[in-house]
Amino acid sequence: MGLSKVSPCVTGGHRMGDSKVDMELLEKEYFHIQSEIESFDEKSLTIKAWSVTLAGAIAGSSAFTDNKMVILFASIVSLMFWFIDGAWKTFQYANYRRIVEIEDFMRGDIDNIVNLQIAKSWNKSYHKGGTHRLAKIMLWPHVILPHGAMFIFMLLVYLSYSFK
């Protein structure tokens, strides 16, 4: 693969063309996006830890009261964390479009690419999926656990108390 595949264009006053600098910029862009994707995984684990800790503590406190609304509140807390985790995953997912584009270029599947397009690519990808993408992502096993499972379990516990 030669360096001549980088398409010439003007971006921010820098003329891009057939140069080693352009390939280095593309490589840096790729690894920067990859780092961002990994940081979203770290955030997701933090969200999961807070979800389990807070919802678990609230649900556990229901043992000290006759008011079983506490369990309903704990299930709602789990639901909120589930939405937060899903939203973070949609932010993360929006980065994959550019990663795939760069990989396709490096593999030779596409002939032209423009450097330094992280924001444009992310914005386009993020807005393309909408709420449908969020709903799909929220059902991924690594997103639904533990939030969705805790939400459903605690909601069922609350409902079982309600019908006694």
Q: Which pLDDT does position 35 carry in this prediction?
A: 97
Average pLDDT over residues 101-120: 90
Q: Which pLDDT does position 15 carry in this prediction?
A: 38
**What is the sign, positive or negative, of the torsion defined by CA atoms of 88, 93, 96, 98?**
negative
Average pLDDT over residues 92-106: 94
User: pLDDT tens digits for 8-21?
Assistant: 443 443 334 557 77
- Sorted by where each begins, the domain ranges of the chain are 17-162
Q: Indicate if the pLDDT at residue 3 is higher than 60.
A: no
As a whole number, the mean pLDDT across the chain is 88
